[in-house]
A and B are shown apart, each in its own frame.
Chain A
Amino acid sequence: MFWFAVGFAVLTVPVAAIPVRSAHTEAELISEVRSVQPGRPFWVALRLKMDPEWHTYWLNPGDSGTATTLQWQQPAGIQAGPLRWPYPQRIAAPPLASYGYEGTVYLLSEIQAPADLKPGAKLALRAKAEWLECKVECLPGAGTVALELPVQAEATAPSVHADAIAAARGRLPVTIADWKLRAAVQEGQLILRATRPEWFAGEIGPVTFFPEQDLLIEPAAPQVLEVRPDGFLLKLKRSAVSTATPERIAGVLVAPAGWRGAGSEQALSVRVALEPVAAVLSAGAPDLAGLLVAVGFAFLGGMILNLMPCVLPVLSIKVLGFVQEARTGHAWRYGLAFTAGVLASFWLLAGGLLLLRAGGEQLGWGFQLQSPPFLVILCAVLFLFGLNLFGIFEVGTSLTRLGGAGPAGGLGGSFFSGVLATTVATPCTAPFMGSALGYALTQPVWAALLVFTALGLGMASPYLLLSLSPALLRFVPKPGAWMETFKQAMGFLLMGTVVWLGWVLGLQAGVSALAALLAALVVLGAAAWALGKWGHMAAPAPTRLTARVLAALGIVGALGVALVGVEQQSAASSGPTQATATPSEGIRWEAFSPQRVAALRAAGTPVFIDFTAAWCLSCQVNERVAFSSPQVREAFARGGFVMLKADWTKRDAAIAQALAQFGRSGVPLYVLYGPTAGAPPRILPEVLTPDIIVKALQELS
């Protein structure tokens, strides 16, 4: 202080700055050092002292206000660094919020003194400052702030402001590379994920994100912190009017507890590129409790899956198989083979899903049914299987073991029926399964595989149990002539499944594709018939060979032609499917879009969303059972509900994203939004009855 005063006297110019005052703010340019050393950088600050209750703004002012600006007007050779902003506070004025400062703030800048400064001379700094000061009402403030510092050859000494400027520097955001930050945008949300460094032992307390970008998040919306063992997730509401999704996220994460531990830096700089949601959510280890619940749900869901309409046709075949094998005393081997078939198919499914997910695809349970070629192959397999049940041909041991050959072929047959059961099960989502699968798809690969395994085990468990405890086989009927009749009857069930899958194909790829499929089935039928008539073991060898070659050619040719035809047709028809709207007549369905939901919610209109697909048999059953009921129609009409249909028959990224938002990976999903703005939606069960819907609607109103 003494030296300061002497310098003042000797130079006879004001070394200290002259403060500028607006109505409620005092502005002053201050320096961290008392003198300048040529070639050395030093810090200065625009200090704004606001009257009590008044505030000025951060670089992003939030909902209202304007950032303070500083325009340097100084001689050439002096380089001033950009304005550096200490982290702000959130200033709430419901329903709005701003980012700014109350009390005193130091907006920092680093000045590079030229190397050719002459000791004994003065360095003059001048800048025009403009700010907006607000309490409730706002006033502009402006003034030219100036500072003169003596130039000395010796090292500089700290000024009276040194401590305050150092403290302000401590509020600047820092980069701590050990903290792994990732970001993703999910419908309506920005998700920031932070993985803690190994050395961090502190508390993850409250965390606030301040975005540097305009229209990134809603400043006034609550920020939801989810602490995880390896860090945390921060969920932020996207700006309600944001139109574009940025490539990168920039801002500051503020934790009063400190990012290196107690008393350390509180502001962490965020500069990250956006990633796919699944990638960000799946980072790190899953929490054990969540995984256990998902595994348990998956097992239960798998068990219930056996009762869903998709699996029923195959279920009966399995029962037949058991009747057959039960007496051989080796039932457990068939049970295991069946389980292996189920598990292998579930792993294949999971592998495909996870691989495609890694490639950034928006997929979910039943995704393979969104592919027309897959439908063609599935139809062909089921059709041939049905013909086999009718007895048109016998493949003996190669397909399934229903005819009653040796146990060796039976094992392969059991495995295959496990595969078939899984394949036809995918159009269904059983209760408990939806949330388990939705969870699995956001987890690391091993955890996802664990959930899929539990699902498969759950589905196979009744048969495994039956095969492992011979005592239970007492309840299985004895084999006899009835089995032949039953077998043939089951053939019709399979033909029914083929018809349904053909309908799905027709919706996806059009009537020409359906015709191609039907033609292929005719050829397949002829091939199977030829095989049955001339290809059996009793026929002479040349006849048998000819029949088998012809049948093989027929099958391959028919499938090939059908696949090519369907591929061309589905490329031609790219519009949304319409047919799922037909079953529930009397309800006026609108097409789902996230924007439509947002608009309706904004207007306080109750909304019902039906996530469905033509290939989802549970959905079709629900629609016929529940939505066609007059009392349900009436209840929806009375509540003034707008009915939205999200038809997932074909691939649709927006619907897949919306499903993911509800933690699901497949259909059906039924979502009810009541008239209360801001209230969370209600999710109806996977299996609907008119009563469930009517009751849910009553509870909402």
Chain B
Amino acid sequence: MKRKAFVMAALSLALVAANVSTVQADALVGQPAPSFTAADTNGKSHALTDFKGKYVVLEWTNYDCPFVVKQYSTQAMQEMQKMAAGKGVVWLSVNSSAAGKQGNYPAEKWNTLVKEKGAAPKAILLDGDGKIGQLYGAKTTPHMYIINPEGKLIYNGAIDDKPTTDAATKPQTNYVAAALTEAMAGKPVTVATTRPYGCSVKY
């Protein structure tokens, strides 16, 4: 009797345990941003902790994705990068395309492309094994994150409110610019989480 009860108890515990949802790796707004270290296209290593005390923008990118193409062909992304740099914000573009997949280039090619586009990130981080992407739960290109000087994530989501590849469609709100402006003015970020749009990250 007792043995049977024990078996049942164990079974029910196992059932309870199986029902409990597991937590996926994702960066949550309001929580400390997951830390990482990655090499850039010049072979230089960057750790998130290097930038403590500064705002950091993470931009998931893939220069062949039409949504990214739109952001760069309209100069919207470059302008944001330059504006951010002017305010002392560290802008890191991250590429998580796996080897052989779209958007994965050798380092020299990246440097050429950056020059061609007139892009101005602090660095392009190469994340070919997708580790940082999965750590942050990056889903699309572009997918944007903002980390505040205390190392907390304050924005996670889309770049703007117009999920289109059509260069003629101007966004009404650029969420990243809005969040940075608010945060730097000492205000809470009004829109802190949105659904990112774009091409899937090519893990």
Contacts and interface: CB of A to CB of B under 8 A. Distances in A.
Nearest to A237: B21
29 contacts: A63-B200, A66-B165, A95-B134, A130-B164, A132-B66, A137-B102, A138-B67, A140-B165, A187-B21, A188-B23, A215-B195, A240-B23, A240-B24, A240-B26, A240-B137, A243-B192, A243-B193, A296-B5, A595-B30, A599-B31, A601-B22, A602-B24, A602-B25, A661-B20, A677-B22, A677-B25, A679-B22, A680-B18, A683-B17
A241 B194 CA distance: 9
Given A137-B102, A240-B24, 10 more contacts: A64-B197, A66-B164, A94-B203, A136-B102, A136-B202, A215-B194, A243-B193, A432-B5, A599-B32, A681-B20
Contacts of A65: 197, 199-200
Interface string B127-162: 000000011010110000000000000001100000
Contacts of B185: none
A585 B68 CA distance: 54
A95 B140 CA distance: 12
Interface string A239-265: 011110000000000000000000000
B163 interface: yes
Contacts, number: 146
B20 A96 contact: no
Interface string B50-70: 000000000000001111000
B76 interface: no
Given A296-B5, A432-B9, A678 B22 contact: yes
Given A96-B139, A137-B102, A241 B197 contact: no
Given A297-B9, A683-B13, A235 B19 contact: yes
Contacts of A597: 23
B73 interface: no
Given A137-B199, A300-B5, A598 B23 contact: yes
B196 to A, nearest CB: 8
Given A63-B139, A241-B156, A602 B23 contact: yes
- B interface residue count range (under 10 / 10 to 19 / 20 to 34 / 35 or more): 35 or more
Given A136-B101, A680-B22, A599 B140 contact: no
Contacts of A235: 19, 21
Interface in A126-140: 130, 132, 134, 136-140
A435 B166 CA distance: 56
A682 B10 CA distance: 11
A399 interface: no
Interface string B172-203: 00000000000000000000111111111111
| 9 closest Cβ pairs, A-B complex | A240-B26, A64-B200, A140-B165, A214-B195, A601-B23, A138-B199, A680-B17, A663-B16, A602-B25
A365 to B, nearest CB: 16
A690 B56 CA distance: 45
Q: Is the interface of B mostly helix, strand, loop or mixed?
A: loop
A598 B139 contact: no
Interface in A621-662: 661-662
Contacts of B8: 293, 296-297
Contacts of A405: none
Interface string A204-224: 000000000011001001001
B26 A602 contact: yes
A96 B201 contact: yes
A233 to B, nearest CB: 10
A662 B197 contact: no
A144 B90 CA distance: 43
A6 interface: no
A526 interface: no
Interface in A666-701: 677-683
Contact of B137 (A134, A238, A241): A241
